[in-house]
Structures are given as C-alpha cells and as structure tokens.
Amino acid sequence: MAQLRRVVEVRRTFKDKELDELFLVAMCELSESFSMRLFVTEALFVRSFRLFGTRTQQAEWVPKILAWESIGCFAMTELGHSSNLRGIETTATYDAANRDFIIDTPSLMATKIWIGMAGETATHTACLARLLVRGQDCGLHWFVVPLRDPKTGRLMPGVTAGDVGAKAGRNGLDNGWIQFTHVRVPRDAMLARWARVAADGTFHAGLNPEDADPANNVSPAAAAGLAYAGLIPERLEITRGIPMMLNQALTIAVRYAAGRRQGPAGNPQVLDYPSIQAALMPALARMHAVMAAAGAVWTTWHAMEEGGPNALLQGLPDMHALSAGIKATVTWDGADILERCRRAMGGHAYSRYNAIADYIGDYGVMTTGGGDNAVLVQQTARYVLAMARKSMADPNKFASTVAPTDSVAYLPSAVALAAEGVPPAVSDWTSLAQLHAVLQWLAVAKVQALGMSLASAPKGGMTRAWNAAHADISAVAQLHTHQYLARAIRIRAGDLEPTARDSAVAPAALQPTFVRLARLYLLDVLRQFARDLLLHGWARDVVEQLDVEFADACAQVRDQAMPLVDAFGLPDWILQAPLARADGDGYRAYLATIQNAPNCFGPPKYWDAEVRPLTAPAGRSRL
Amino acid sequence: MAQLRRVVEVRRTFKDKELDELFLVAMCELSESFSMRLFVTEALFVRSFRLFGTRTQQAEWVPKILAWESIGCFAMTELGHSSNLRGIETTATYDAANRDFIIDTPSLMATKIWIGMAGETATHTACLARLLVRGQDCGLHWFVVPLRDPKTGRLMPGVTAGDVGAKAGRNGLDNGWIQFTHVRVPRDAMLARWARVAADGTFHAGLNPEDADPANNVSPAAAAGLAYAGLIPERLEITRGIPMMLNQALTIAVRYAAGRRQGPAGNPQVLDYPSIQAALMPALARMHAVMAAAGAVWTTWHAMEEGGPNALLQGLPDMHALSAGIKATVTWDGADILERCRRAMGGHAYSRYNAIADYIGDYGVMTTGGGDNAVLVQQTARYVLAMARKSMADPNKFASTVAPTDSVAYLPSAVALAAEGVPPAVSDWTSLAQLHAVLQWLAVAKVQALGMSLASAPKGGMTRAWNAAHADISAVAQLHTHQYLARAIRIRAGDLEPTARDSAVAPAALQPTFVRLARLYLLDVLRQFARDLLLHGWARDVVEQLDVEFADACAQVRDQAMPLVDAFGLPDWILQAPLARADGDGYRAYLATIQNAPNCFGPPKYWDAEVRPLTAPAGRSRL
Ligand SMILES: Cc1cc2nc3c(=O)[nH]c(=O)nc-3n(C[C@H](O)[C@H](O)[C@H](O)COP(=O)(O)OP(=O)(O)OC[C@H]3O[C@@H](n4cnc5c(N)ncnc54)[C@H](O)[C@@H]3O)c2cc1C
Ligand SMILES: Cc1cc2nc3c(=O)[nH]c(=O)nc-3n(C[C@H](O)[C@H](O)[C@H](O)COP(=O)(O)OP(=O)(O)OC[C@H]3O[C@@H](n4cnc5c(N)ncnc54)[C@H](O)[C@@H]3O)c2cc1C
C-alpha cells in the first residue's frame, strides 16, 4: 500500500501523459500485487460505474476513484457462488418507507469472498445483490456500499469484513471477505443506468430516462442482459496482462537456456536442444499473437463503451464470446508456458531468487479469476455454434452483417471448405494463409461435429449431452480464439490487410521476424490439435510433415531468440532474476544474491537447542 | 529441525517396529520438509555408504547416521553441472606424501549447490568429485568430508557453505551450497567399495579386496559404471513419495468437488460434471497403479542390494532404466494431477489454507531433482531400444533370460503383435488384457519407429538425430513405464498372476474396485497417446470409441470416489485443508480458519501512514 500511495503522489507531479502510462506499465511489471490493486480500481470499480452507473453517478464517483479518495472493490463472488452467478444470495431489499435499500447477507454461503482490497483498505464496494422490491425478485443489480470510514479505517456499522489471509501469491494485495447485516444505503446507491427503483418502490427495467436519447432505444429485455457485461473488460485485460507477466518468464528462461551449457565451455547451449526449443520458441510466438490482438480488441471495446447504449448492446454477444474465449485460451496457454519456463531452468527454477517460482504462485488466480475457464469456454462455444448455424443457413446474408469484431468473419469460407468433405490441402507449408485456413476449417469441423452430437441427444437430455461434450466445447472455443489471434499476428507480419481497428503493422524490417513467429504460432496450434486433425480426415503423413515443419520453425525462431527477448525491453531491476542478467554474468550474480540473503551463513540460531543434542549430546566425550 | 529432534527422541522410546514405521509415514505426510530431511539422510546419505562404502566404512558410519549423530548430505550437483555429470569439476587430489586427499572447488561453477541440509545443519557430506592421482583423471568417486563441528555448528577450516535461501517450497529444509578450499581428508574418506587408492598412490579399479568373495567376480569395467547407481533408490522412492503427496491433494479436490454445488441445495455436485470427472478420476487410477508397483520395485531392489556385488551389477541396467522411467513418468503425471486438483477447486485453491497451493510450491523440485526428467527418459528409451533389438534378434533366447524386474518381459509378444502390421483389435473394452496388449504394442511400435528414424541419420549425425527425436524418446519411456505400472495394478486387481516379488493381490471384496481403476488407468493412458495410436494405424472410430469407454470408466469410478479417497486414510490434521474436512462441514471451518488468522481484522497498521493520506487528506473537511 505504501507503494501505491507513493505512486499516486508521484503521478500527481507528472505533466506528460505518456510518461504516466509508461510509469504504470513499469510498476505493473515490477509488482503483481500493485498491478492487481490498480486493476481492481481502474478495470473493475471504475468500470462498474462506467457500465452500470447513470451519468450523474459517473460524474460523482469516477473522479474520486481515480484520485484514490475512494478506494473501491468489486464484490461479486460469494463463498458458495461465482461460476454460477444465478445462485447469488446477497439481497438488496427496497424499503419504500425509508426510501433506501437494505443490503444483507442471509447465510454463511452468501459471504462475499476473495474481493480484492476488501480485506483492509477499501472504503467502498460495488456489490452485486439480488434486488427485492415489494417481495418481488427483480434480478441481480449493482449497489455501492460504504465499507470503512475513510479517516479511521474502521468498518461501517453492519459491515463485517476482513482479510482472506495467506494466498498462493499476490500477498501484497488484501483480498477480503464481507458480510452485511441489514446495512442501509440510500436509493441512489443502486447503479441505475439499465434499471431503477422509483422512490415509491416501482421497479423499472430499461435504460434510465436520464441516459435515454432518441438514437438509443434500448428494450428492457436487452438491458437485463447487462449485469454480466462488467467482466468483459477484465477478460480483455488478459491480452495485456498475460504477456506482461509471461514475457518476463520467457526472458528469464531463454537467457538461462542460452547461457547454460552442458559441460565445459564450448559444449552446446541448452537452448540448442530441440526439446527446449519446442518448449520455449512457440511460447514466444503465442505471446506475440496475443500482443498483436490487444490493439484490435481494445479499440473495439472503447468504441462500444463510448458509442452509447445501442453500440454497447449490439456488440455485446460477439465481444462477450470473444473475450471469454481469449480469457480461457490465453490463461490456459499461459499456465502451460510458465510450467515450461520452470522446467527449462532445471533446479534453479526452485530458487525464489529466479522469479519463476513467484510467478507460478501469483499466476494461480488466472485460470479461474474473472470467470472460471471451464465455464467461459462454454459461453464462447455456444456463440460459435449459433453463428455457424446462421452462416450455414444464409452465408451471403451472414457475410454482409457487420460484426463488431472480426471474430466470426471466417465462418462462411470455413463452412464452404468443410462442405468439400476433405480437409484443405497444404501445398505450401510456408503459406500463413494456408495454415490459417486449416485452423479455421478445423474450428468449423469441430463445431459441426459438436452440433451433430448435441442434436442426437435424447429429449430432456440436452444439459447432460452438453456437459458430456465439454472436451469438444473447450476445443471449439480455443480453435475459435486461435484463428482470431492468428489473424492479428498475420496482420502484424504484413501478411493480411488490417481494418481500421487493428493494431499497427510491424515496420518492414521486422516483418520477416513476425512471419516466422506467425508461422510457428500456426504450426504449434495445429500440432496441439493433431488428434482432431487426424480424426477429421488429415492423413498420417501430413501430421508427420507438420512435426517436421514445426521443428524447422522452432529452429528459425531460435536463431532470433536472444534479440526477441531483449526486445521485450525488460531491465534487470524489473526481472529481479540474477541468473537472467542482461550482461550475461548470471551465475556470479545469482550466488551473490544467495550469499547476501539473511541467514545465509550459520550457525543457525537453533543449533544449540535442536542440533547439538543429536550430534554432540552432553555427557558424551567428544568424538 | 525442532520437529526432527523431537521425532528422533520419540522414536528412541518406541519398541514396536510397525508403530515406528507408521509414525514416520504420518510425519512425512504432515511435513514435506521433514520428509525431505529423512529422505536425504536415509535414502541418500546412508545409501551412499551402502552402495559405495566398504564393509568397514558401512560399519563405521551407518549406525551413526541412523542415530543422527552425524547429519549428512549428498553433494553431487554443482552450480554448472548436474544433468551433465561428466562436467563435474570438484577435485579430490591424492597426496601420496601425506596419504590424504585434497578436496577442492576450482571455479565458481564447481560450487556444490542445492545440497539438502548443507545450508545449516549437516556435519558431513558425501561429495562427488573427480579423483586425480599422479596427475591422472581416475573418474568420479565419492568422498566423505566433514563440514561442521558437531558441537558448535561452525564450519570446518577450508569449507565455505551457506543456505540457498528462499525457495518455491520446503523452506523447512536447509538446502545449501558448499565450496572447498584445499580441504584435506584422510585416505579412508574415499568410499572404496568399487575402486580404491593404495597408500602409495596406485589407483585400483574393481571390487575392494575387503569385499571380494569368490562368488562375486566383478570386472573393473563393470565396477566403474556404478557411480551413477546412487540415484536409483532416490528414483524408486517416487513410487511411495508421489502418492503420499498426491493422495492428499486428490482427497481435498474430490471432497471439495463433492461438496460444491452449483447453486442452491439440490443442484448438481461439481463432481458430477464429466469434465471434472475426466480430470480427477483417472488421477485416482494413476496413483493406485503407482502404489501397486511400489512393492515389486522395492522387493527387487532390496534383493539386489543384499545379494552381493554380482546381483547388484547384473540387475543394474534394467533397474536403472525402469527407475528412470518411473521417476520421469510419475513425476510428470503428478505435476499434471496437482494442476488439475488446483483447477477443480476454482478460486479456493488460491487460499493457502486449502493446502494445494503449498503442494504446488513444494512439488516444483520433483520433475528435476534426482535427475531431470528430460534426461532420464533418454536413459530409459536407450535401454528399451537395445532390449527390443535383442528381442527381435532372438525372441526365444530373450524370453528365457531371467531379468531382475518384469519390465521387459512384454517385448517378445509385443514385437510379434507389431509384426502383424495391423494394430491389435479391441473386441472387448472391459478386457484389461486386451487394453494392456494395445499399450505394449504401441510401446514397441514407437520403439521401432524411433529405431528406424535413428538408423537413417547421416554419418556423424547420430547425436543430432537423437536430440531431435526427443518427443518420441519421451513417449517410448513413458509407454514402457505405463505398461509396467499397468501390470502391477492388474495384479492388484486379481487379473494377472503375481510373481514372488509382486505386492499382494487385493482382497476379493476389493478386486472389482481395482478392476475399475485398472480399466480407467489403461484407457486414460491410451487416450493420452491417441495421436500416436492414430499415427500407428488405429482407425478413427476406434479412437472415438476409446473416448466413450473412457467417459464410462470415469463415471464408474466416480460412484466410488468418496470411499476411495476416504480409504487413503488421511485424517484432517494431516490434510490441513478445512474445506476438505472429513465431516463435510468444510465451509464453516474454512471461514473460521480465515477469521482466526493473524491480521484478519483491521484497521491495518499502515492505515494512518499509507491509506489516510489518500482517502482523508489533512486540511480537507470531512466528506
Ligand atoms: C529442492 C532441491 C533439492 C536438491 N537436492 C539435491 C541434493 O541433495 N544433492 C544434489 O546433489 N543435488 C540436489 N539437487 C539438484 C538437482 O539434482 C538438479 O537440480 C537436477 O539434477 C537438475 O539439474 P540442473 O538444475 O543442473 O538442470 P540443467 O542441467 O540446468 O537443466 C536445464 C534444462 O536443460 C534440459 N536438459 C539438460 N540436458 C538435456 C539433454 N541432454 N537433452 C534435453 N534436455 C536437456 C533439462 O531438461 C532442463 O530443462 C536439488 C535440487 C532442488 C531444486
Ligand atoms: C486472487 C483472487 C482474486 C479474486 N478477486 C475477486 C474480486 O475482486 N471480486 C470478485 O467478485 N471475485 C473475485 N475472485 C473470485 C473469482 O472470480 C472466482 O474464484 C471464480 O469466478 C471461480 O469461482 P469459484 O471459485 O466459485 O469456482 P467454482 O464454481 O467452485 O468452480 C469449481 C470447479 O467447478 C468447475 N465448474 C463450475 N461450473 C462448471 C460447469 N458449468 N461446467 C463444468 N465445470 C464447472 C470449475 O471449472 C472449477 O473447476 C477472486 C478470486 C481469486 C482467487
């Protein structure tokens, strides 16, 4: 928290916006806990107001939050419910007599938990609760509830809250739990952009008149779907947050593997083993694909957010599915990549001085926080299934519909490919377009197979069939996501025309490097789904050729591995991993770190009490 | 260390050997650091004497070590070398004038590192060093070197050593680093069972005359291979250590998934999702296969150790390959299983009060310590390749050769199957014998493909070809290991005749359960290698049927999941995971643990200094 206060103070002195942004990036790279604090505040708390608050509420709260005068948190999850939001038990009961809401935690399982900054520091929370008006359940809505006195830090009357205690990582952030005992908040504590309760206790669904504008005629039904949209930006944040973390791990692992020789000087670098290349090089490619996609998703999201309610609502299904797919796919891949970095470093990854161990601890939240991956892939697959059906029903109409992102633009052509009955041939293994087409074809082939297996479910057995198809559902979501990311890295490589919302094409001199990365990325993803390729008609020798091309692509990226990690631009003081020092003198720095740590040198304090009674018991002559 | 001292004292009061053993098992389950201390002492340090010491040396040292009067460690790894033992730089130079050895660390990279208990507590170390006699390099040998004064804990002259500091886990164990500056040790400090230096400085390879016996005529060449055998017991220990750890994680995850409902009471248990079953049920089956194999490998090893030098040397290649394969396969699988347990628990795995987070930290050493898995699979594959060639050359002779373990007994029949050119048919998916035959066939099919691809390597390109084939090498080692483990669980299930060295068959009443586990185990392993099955000739619909059978087998084991984890017999005080309480009241216990933790309730100490300046700056009127 001291870190945070200092950052807030320093930022107030900045005049330069770019400097301010760079400063924040560096701080986030330096400290996972700091980045989570910033994230909870700016991505979750502020966003709750932006998405769910009326103009008045936004004007009142956003500046206070950005100035950290109100420290806020985002209380959705309960002890018993998170993946299943419909189970949320916390209630907000409108009391028409007093014109206020009573926020209450009716059971142990309704305890809000894991809430970032609720443990010690938050003065307010955005709280998701079931709105009860005149005994009627009006669905889930967001309320702002004061938690602590901003002056003393003491809990407000009726609020019981505390820290969740020791965690796998990010112990510098106070995740907390909260219980409410009939806590009264005024009527304007309800974030009322999409639904409101009139003073007399009438519930109105639909856009708040305050925000209404003739161009934006939102139906109450459409507005009701919005409570879940709050997590979309959190999921899109993955496109920035995961590379921020994993590029550090990759820099460390690649530098170690380049510096590590098996045996005396002159012997091969560990990085020359094809097995180590196969572990680390595709990981570099995957991170570049994610970074390439960040620009497009954020440009799209900002346009939706600022384009008024209609733009927001229209774009929502597509953006929701895409962000869920990205969140799940990229965080699963990231877990895998971190583990590879760990393994590439042999025993030295076990030392906390080489950073990887702490990344693994910190990372543990990624596959579940912001929505559990196993649940998210279902949302993506459901959307892809529906869109593929639409595309099959009327490809021309589908192709001409303007979608907010380009995530489903591939469907008509991929459906046409799938209709040919044989997998698309790869005549040129260096053609990104051909490899990309295979990926898109496989996505559609899997979607169609999934659709068929669901269609054959017995009456009343749909839920069962859906749950049983989880492996295929997960594959569909991942393939859909990868074909989207592949698009982004092809654009970066200058291999595909960008649209207005895409991020910049790489400078010509760097394009050949991005082509290599894009090729490796595509081959790696195809290889991950080799089983499916074979099941959907690829011949054995094509898969064998895929392996050969993959090894070749790894070797090509390996040639540029050192400049590639240097280009991440992570200085030693951010990496905090002596073995990975930029100047190459890692071993000396590593041993020096060990020797400077407290208690490196003994004898330990416990020697006389615990060791000596065993090794030199009193009353025995010396050996 | 206090824990250890107390255990040593308590054990001295025990009269009952069985009680003593149970006590140790419980302590190891309770504390990973304790188990490592015990392990370093009993499995590594004592074993160094048993394997490499003469009878006199054993008689002198073993009792002292077992009584913890000498606390020892096992110093093999150096900063620069471990996977590549040939690179070891520490020297032991014989000084004929003084009749002693000079142990020396000639460079920074020669610093011994990671050595368990070298950080603070060890009084002695077994040290692997390059023996130099009369300027000649006589290979790597073991030496006992005093590190600390048993009374004061101070380092001996010439020894510099300290703790490696913060680690990913097992921080209760002092791993350390050691440098030797011309440390003199007497001539009998060299463990001299398999080679010795005479007082005059003549180096003799071959069994020490003291240990010679007419029945055991060991050639010097055979004896030279032994320096590496010290790690075999460490690797076999995996068959006990991994289930000891992972059964805890599985108990916690299964109980959580059974208690967790999506939504209000009456809704489905998370454990009923096929995706969660597919994650956790095969893990139970894999652990049972490992446990089933433990009896046989240890019986065999003890027979080798106690059967004199010939028995040891004869059994070595087979045992070496098998133990390396088990170590790599089981620890890789274990990492995967731990990650699944973590994911099955959603956000609650991130709390350190639910144990999984700490297991993941502790576990980080398993895939590399005791030999890096990527290196070990090469040793196993090399052996399987050689044995498969032998078996192909003369199947009858091969079949009649008595091997120390039953690990390669399958080769003749699997080679015959492979010769048929089509994969073995599965006519009955409940037949363990048929599934096992497919596994063995696939192992051989992969070995033969590997052999062919190596045979086509250009002259001088063998190392390159070998390194490039790492994925296949790894698959061969794992398939070989799994067919061995499958044998063990089939025996346990009463489905296969045991030999004298196998562990007990399960009681008749439990055999049906073991049959289910064995079936799931086999299906799961086949599924892991589905890509290879397809590449080696399995038809698509067979793989699709495999998926169906797998889901069915998961559901069958799920029906017994709760009794299966209860049968691991792990009480709450060992699990230390309130959410997994045996009485089912996990959520209450979990929240109570959180609330009883220090600093759960605020305001935090830093409020006035760090928060208040932001939320209620002085000189501003109260909001
Ligand atoms: C907690 C802990 C306790 C330990 N305790 C002890 C102890 O008590 N005594 C002791 O002597 N040692 C101990 N060790 C050291 C341990 O045995 C080594 O860390 C281990 O052998 C791996 O060696 P390394 O770290 O040098 O890996 P490296 O050799 O640096 O391996 C780096 C990478 O290269 C890869 N690699 C290496 N060779 C090849 C190859 N031929 N082909 C393909 N890939 C390759 C590896 O897979 C790995 O990914 C301990 C380690 C830890 C973490
Ligand atoms: C460090 C950290 C910070 C957090 N910060 C916040 C915060 O600031 N605000 C907030 O509101 N929340 C926060 N959370 C909570 C987080 O969002 C939840 O943990 C997450 O949504 C998962 O929910 P759960 O823990 O209830 O998982 P569970 O629902 O218990 O999931 C258990 C298992 O069931 C599986 N599962 C569930 N449903 C299905 C299904 N339909 N099909 C198949 N499998 C299924 C899951 O994949 C998982 O494996 C945080 C969590 C952590 C760990």
| Residue A599 is assigned to a structural domain of this protein | no
**CA-based torsion, A39, A567, A570, A261: positive or negative:** positive
Lowest mean pLDDT among A360-364, A424-428, A531-535, B229-233: B229-233
- Residue B227, pLDDT > 80, answer no
User: Shortest Cα distance from A240 to chain B (angstroms)?
Assistant: 22
Q: pLDDT, tens digit, for every residue of B339-360?
A: 999 999 999 999 999 999 999 9
Q: Are residues A173 and A268 in the same domain?
A: no
- Residue B511, pLDDT > 70, answer yes
CB B521 within 8 A of CB B289: yes
Residue percentage of chain A with pLDDT more than 90: 77
Q: pLDDT, tens digit, for every residue of B512-530?
A: 999 999 999 999 999 999 9
A12 close contact with B: CB closer than 8 A: no
Q: Would you state the pLDDT for residue B252?
A: 98
Q: Would you state the pLDDT for residue A266?
A: 66
| Residue A606 is assigned to a structural domain of this protein | no
B353 close contact with A: CB closer than 8 A: yes
| Residue A12 is assigned to a structural domain of this protein | no
User: Is the Cβ atom of A469 under 6 angstroms away from ligand 2?
Assistant: no
Q: pLDDT, tens digit, for every residue of A113-134?
A: 999 999 999 999 999 999 999 9
Domain of residue B130, CATH code: 2.40.110.10
B369 close contact with A: CB closer than 8 A: yes
Given A566, A594, A609, the domain boundary residue is A566
User: Is the Cβ atom of B343 under 6 angstroms away from ligand 2?
Assistant: yes
B573 close contact with A: CB closer than 8 A: no
Closest C-alpha among A56, A45, A61, A59 to residue A211:
A56
- Residue B130, pLDDT > 60, answer yes
Give how far the C-alpha of residue B428 lies from the chain's centroid of Cα atoms, to the nearest Å. 35
Interface A:B, Cβ pairs < 8 A: 328
- Residue A262, pLDDT > 90, answer no
Place of tokens 């409902």: B261
Strand partners, A136: A133
- Residue A461, pLDDT > 70, answer yes
What is the number of other CB atoms lying within 10 angstroms of the CB of residue A424? 18
Contact A368 B551 (CB under 8 A): no
Spacing, Cα A369 to ligand 2 middle (Å): 6
What is the number of other CB atoms lying within 10 angstroms of the CB of residue A585? 12
Q: Would you state the pLDDT for residue A35?
A: 85
Spacing, Cα A583 to ligand 1 middle (Å): 24
Residue percentage of chain B with pLDDT more than 70: 97
Query: What band does B280 get if pLDDT is binned at 50, 70 and 90?
Result: very high
Q: Are residues B251 and B400 in the same domain?
A: yes
Q: Would you state the pLDDT for residue A622?
A: 47
Q: CA geometry: angle at B468 spanning B465 and B469, to 5°?
A: 90
Average pLDDT of chain A, as a whole number: 93
- Who among A2, A120, A151 is closest to B622 (CB)? A151
Contact B350 A372 (CB under 8 A): no
A288 close contact with B: CB closer than 8 A: no
Residue percentage of chain B with pLDDT more than 90: 77
Give how far the C-alpha of residue B220 lies from the chain's centroid of Cα atoms, to the nearest Å. 30
Q: Are residues A187 and A245 in the same domain?
A: no
- Residue A67, pLDDT > 50, answer yes
Tell me whether strands A91-95 and A100-104 are parallel, antiparallel or unpaired.
antiparallel
A86 close contact with B: CB closer than 8 A: yes
- Residue A163, pLDDT > 80, answer yes
- Residue A619, pLDDT > 70, answer no
Closest C-alpha among A191, A187, A229 to residue A56:
A191
Residue nearest to atom 24 of ligand 1 (CA): A346
B376 close contact with A: CB closer than 8 A: no
Residues of A in contact with B361 (CB under 8 A): 168, 357, 360-361
Q: Are residues A281 and A197 in the same domain?
A: no
Highest mean pLDDT: which of A210-224, B19-33, B69-83?
Answer: B69-83
Region B457-486 average pLDDT? 96
Q: pLDDT, tens digit, for every residue of A240-260?
A: 999 999 999 999 999 999 999
Residue, of B499 and B293, whose pLDDT is higher? B293
Domain of residue B282, CATH code: 1.20.140.10
Q: Which residue of A has its CA nearest to B359?
A: A168
Contact A273 B612 (CB under 8 A): no
Strand partners, A161: A178
- Who among A544, A590, A603 is closest to B152 (CB)? A603
Distances (CA, A) of A179 to A90, A300, B607: 9, 37, 21
| Residue B537 is assigned to a structural domain of this protein | yes
Lowest mean pLDDT among A357-371, B32-46, B382-396: B32-46
Spacing, Cα A542 to ligand 2 middle (Å): 40
| Residue A581 is assigned to a structural domain of this protein | no
Query: What band does B222 get if pLDDT is binned at 50, 70 and 90?
Result: confident
Q: Are residues A70 and A191 in the same domain?
A: yes
User: Is the Cβ atom of A270 under 6 angstroms away from ligand 1?
Assistant: yes
Q: Are residues B451 and B502 in the same domain?
A: yes
Q: Would you state the pLDDT for residue A623?
A: 44
Instruction: Write the ipTM.
Output: 0.96
Given A566, A589, A607, the domain boundary residue is A566
Q: Which residue of B has its CA nearest to A273?
A: B467
Q: Are residues B114 and B239 in the same domain?
A: no
CB B540 within 8 A of CB A445: no
Number of domains comprising chain A: 2
Token pair belonging to B382: 């090399």
**DSSP states of A269-296 as a string?**
BGGGSHHHHHHHHHHHHHHHHHHHHHHH
Distance (Å, rounded) from C-alpha A215 to C-alpha A206?
15
Tell me whether strands A183-186 and A100-104 are parallel, antiparallel or unpaired.
antiparallel
- Residue B623, pLDDT > 60, answer no
Angle of helix B373-393 relative to helix B308-344, nearest 10 degrees, comes to 120
Given A537, A566, A595, the domain boundary residue is A566
Chain A residues 145-204 within an 8 A CB cutoff of chain B = 148, 150-155, 162-169, 174, 177
A619 close contact with B: CB closer than 8 A: no
B527 close contact with A: CB closer than 8 A: no
- Residue A408, pLDDT > 90, answer yes
Token pair belonging to B387: 């044995």
Q: Would you state the pLDDT for residue A261?
A: 87
Region A13-35 average pLDDT? 85
| Residue B130 is assigned to a structural domain of this protein | yes
Residue percentage of chain A with pLDDT more than 70: 97
Q: Would you state the pLDDT for residue B622?
A: 47
| Residue A571 is assigned to a structural domain of this protein | no
Q: Are residues A204 and A239 in the same domain?
A: no
* Beta strands in B291-381, from DSSP E residues, in sequence order: none
Q: Tell me the HSE value of A604 on the side-chain side, using a 13 A CA sphere.
A: 25
Query: Which residues of B are annotated binding-site positions?
Result: 77, 116
CB B580 within 8 A of CB B586: yes
- Who among A166, A364, A587 is closest to B109 (CB)? A587
Residues of B in contact with A602 (CB under 8 A): 119-120, 148, 153-155, 162-163
Q: Which atom of ligand 1 is nearest to the CA of A351?
A: 53
User: Is the Cβ atom of B371 under 6 angstroms away from ligand 1?
Assistant: yes
Query: What band does B210 get if pLDDT is binned at 50, 70 and 90?
Result: confident
Cis peptide before A603 (omega within 30 of 0): yes
User: Is the Cβ atom of A20 under 6 angstroms away from ligand 2?
Assistant: no
Backbone angles phi, psi at A148, to 5 degrees: -135, 150
| Residue A7 is assigned to a structural domain of this protein | no
Q: Which residue of A has its CA nearest to B362?
A: A350
Contact A357 B361 (CB under 8 A): yes
Spacing, Cα A324 to ligand 2 middle (Å): 14
Q: Are residues B419 and B285 in the same domain?
A: yes
Q: Are residues A417 and A279 in the same domain?
A: yes
- Who among B68, B531, B597 is closest to A534 (CB)? B531
Lowest mean pLDDT among A160-174, B9-23, B234-248, B539-553: B9-23
Greatest Cα-to-Cα distance within chain B, rounded to the nearest angstrom = 98
Q: pLDDT, tens digit, for every residue of A413-455?
A: 999 999 998 999 999 999 999 999 999 999 999 999 999 999 9
Strand partners, B141: B129
Region A352-371 average pLDDT? 95
Q: Which residue of A has its CA nearest to B473?
A: A275
Distances (CA, A) of A338 to A358, A417, A482: 11, 36, 19
Q: Would you state the pLDDT for residue B216?
A: 67
Residues of A in contact with B261 (CB under 8 A): 80
Residue, of A577 and B23, whose pLDDT is higher? A577
- Residue B397, pLDDT > 80, answer yes
Q: Are residues A281 and A160 in the same domain?
A: no
What is the number of other CB atoms lying within 10 angstroms of the CB of residue A82? 22
Contact B68 A335 (CB under 8 A): no
Q: pLDDT, tens digit, for every residue of A518-554?
A: 999 999 999 999 999 999 999 999 999 999 999 999 9
Q: Are residues A296 and A350 in the same domain?
A: yes
Give the residue numbers spanning the domain of B46: 31-207
| B372, B373, B474: residue to mutate for ligand 1 pocket, most atoms within 8 A of CB | B372
Q: Would you state the pLDDT for residue B619?
A: 66
Spacing, Cα A437 to ligand 2 middle (Å): 35
Query: What band does B109 get if pLDDT is binned at 50, 70 and 90?
Result: very high
Spacing, Cα B242 to ligand 1 middle (Å): 19
Q: pLDDT, tens digit, for every residue of A551-574?
A: 999 999 999 999 999 999 999 999
